[in-house]
Amino acid sequence: MPAPEAAVQYAKEHKNDFLEDLITLLRIPSVSTLPDHQGDMERAAAWISDRLKSMDFDNVRVMPTDRHPVVYGECLKAGKSAPTLLFYGHYDVQPADPLEEWKSDPFDPQIRGDDLFARGASDMKAQVVAHLSAAASMVHTSGLPINVKYMIEGEEEIGSPSLEKFIIANKDLLSCDICLNADCAILAPDTPSITYALRGLAYFEIRIQGPASDLHSGRFGGAIDNPALVLSELIAGMRDENGRITLPGFYDSVRDLSDDERAELSKLPTDDAWWQAQAGVKALHGERGYSAGERASARPTLDVNGLLSGFTGEGSKTVLPAKAMAKISMRLVSDQTPEQVHEGLIQYMKENAPPTITWEVEKLAGAPPAIVERDSVSIRAASKAFESVWGKRPLFTREGGTVPVVGMIQNLMGVDCLMMGFGLPDDNLHAPNEKQHLPNYYRGIETFIRFTHELAV
């Protein structure tokens, strides 16, 4: 039996063990944001490091950070000529509340139908244990055909505050040829898919100050400018009648969508009618010349996330407000950077803010976009692995949201970060009754095995 088949066979024979492993980890309520769960965080980290040790991984460590440790382990027995894969995952989970909306205890995993219900099932303990199970299946049969490192953090659900520092401090230890981030999903149980691009984020607060203090709109209205009106004008000027963002240089670094890529994206089962129904809107809107799906994933955007000025309670108050505030954010696509967009916004404000007000722009968050070329080694390997297991070619998708860790790893380590995981869109992430679809879990283990072997070719 050729190498992957032996490991696949092993995985099938140990299906129940691998399910038990997942259930064991899910029983540990490793809620990173709640200080009461400090002990659970340590138990979850220990469980993973024990699992790595049981596979004879080397250099297995629970490495402290300012808050929750990172579990590291490596198996470099494939030798220097073989590629090295760094698996990124997280062992922490979201809080479970509101508890009363769960049909079963979030930390007492229960199988109903084909689904395993528990907090952290899909996000992302099933993905972590699936990969550990795939590794074990290879280790216990013909061995790992490539070098594998694990970096499994405990702070993803609180925004990965320690990760950047950790990666910088351990760059040599983590060095690799490719990173695999399993914190993701496929489109449907029978529709395998690969997310090859994520949007980045640049998030700002714009604060406008007009008069020194709130004034009476009867006494002063007309004599002086209105900061809320100025803010509205500035925001309105940020997009044109074609739905394009007018900030200087905004599109300069945007990679165009090729005809080939658009043809690929058009195969997705999410047409404009789907988007309209999902959002519950009367009509769609956006940059002219692109479908809703393209606009929501492969094109950059600008959204107002918040507005606040003056009197917002019930009834009327005739105030001419001193201040007005907007939170605006841009979703970025390769090769835009949060820094470029920040500069463009500042330039826009300098060119357009009237002399009647003062303004400041505060950068609140930023994360670069990420893309892995569809004809790269890792995507081709993933595609073949999916096709072997599912019997059909995966669809290629771009994600409109941002996974900061992906861009962070790409930028800090200079390697592609492949997204490959086996959740589903309806897994109730961060919500009551989170689940993992178990057929996906088992197929995921096999897909990880075949992917690993494809990388070795």
CB of 241 to a copy of itself, least distance (A): 10
Window 360-419: residues binding a copy of itself (CB under 8 A): 364-365, 399-402
85 belongs to the binding site for a copy of itself (CB under 8 A): no
CB of 235 to a copy of itself, least distance (A): 4
When the beta carbons of 6 and 235 are compared against a copy of itself, the nearer one is 235
Q: Which stretch binds a copy of itself (CB under 8 A): 205-213, 252-260, 336-344, 376-384?
A: 205-213
Window 229-268: residues binding a copy of itself (CB under 8 A): 229, 231-233, 235-239
3-state secondary structure of 417: strand
CA pair distance 359, 351, nearest whole angstrom: 12
When the beta carbons of 104 and 266 are compared against a copy of itself, the nearer one is 266
CB of 315 to a copy of itself, least distance (A): 6
CA pair distance 22, 7, nearest whole angstrom: 19
List, in order, residues 6 or more apart from 451 with CB less than 8 Å away: 381, 382, 384, 385, 420
CB of 294 to a copy of itself, least distance (A): 8
Q: How many Cβ atoms sit within 10 Å of the Cβ of residue 451?
A: 26
282 belongs to the binding site for a copy of itself (CB under 8 A): yes
CA pair distance 302, 206, nearest whole angstrom: 14
What's the length of the chain? 457
When the beta carbons of 64 and 306 are compared against a copy of itself, the nearer one is 306
When the beta carbons of 80 and 282 are compared against a copy of itself, the nearer one is 282
Cα–Cα distances in angstroms (integers) from residue 411 to residues 126, 335, 368, 428, 445, in the given order: 27, 12, 8, 30, 29
* Number of residues located near a copy of itself, criterion CB under 8 A: 84
Per-residue DSSP letters for 39-103? HHHHHHHHHHHHHHHHTT-EEEEEE--SSSPEEEEEE-TT-TTS-EEEEEEE--B----SGGG-S
The helix or strand, by DSSP H or E, that contains position 153, with its residue range, turns out to be: strand 147-153
CA pair distance 28, 39, nearest whole angstrom: 10
Among 212, 242, 260, 391, binds a copy of itself (CB under 8 A): 212
* Residue written as token pair 């965080």: 41
Contact 206, 325 (CB under 8 A): yes
When the beta carbons of 319 and 412 are compared against a copy of itself, the nearer one is 319
Window 101-120: residues binding a copy of itself (CB under 8 A): none
307 belongs to the binding site for a copy of itself (CB under 8 A): yes
Q: Which stretch binds a copy of itself (CB under 8 A): 53-61, 134-142, 221-229, 431-439?
A: 221-229
Among 35, 79, 98, 355, binds a copy of itself (CB under 8 A): 355
List, in order, residues 6 or more apart from 421 with CB less than 8 Å away: 124, 127, 181, 182, 183, 184, 185, 186, 444
CA pair distance 137, 140, nearest whole angstrom: 5
203 belongs to the binding site for a copy of itself (CB under 8 A): yes
When the beta carbons of 168 and 224 are compared against a copy of itself, the nearer one is 224
Window 124-163: residues binding a copy of itself (CB under 8 A): none
199 belongs to the binding site for a copy of itself (CB under 8 A): yes
Contact 19, 27 (CB under 8 A): no
Among 46, 310, 343, 411, binds a copy of itself (CB under 8 A): 310
When the beta carbons of 249 and 306 are compared against a copy of itself, the nearer one is 306
80 belongs to the binding site for a copy of itself (CB under 8 A): no
Among 125, 149, 331, 435, binds a copy of itself (CB under 8 A): 331
When the beta carbons of 345 and 389 are compared against a copy of itself, the nearer one is 345
When the beta carbons of 18 and 196 are compared against a copy of itself, the nearer one is 196
- Torsions phi, psi for 360 (to 5 deg): -145, 150
Starting from the edge strand earliest in sequence, which strands make up the sheet with 147-153, in order?
Answer: 58-63, 70-75, 147-153, 84-90, 178-181, 417-419
Q: Which stretch binds a copy of itself (CB under 8 A): 11-19, 48-56, 70-78, 303-311?
A: 303-311
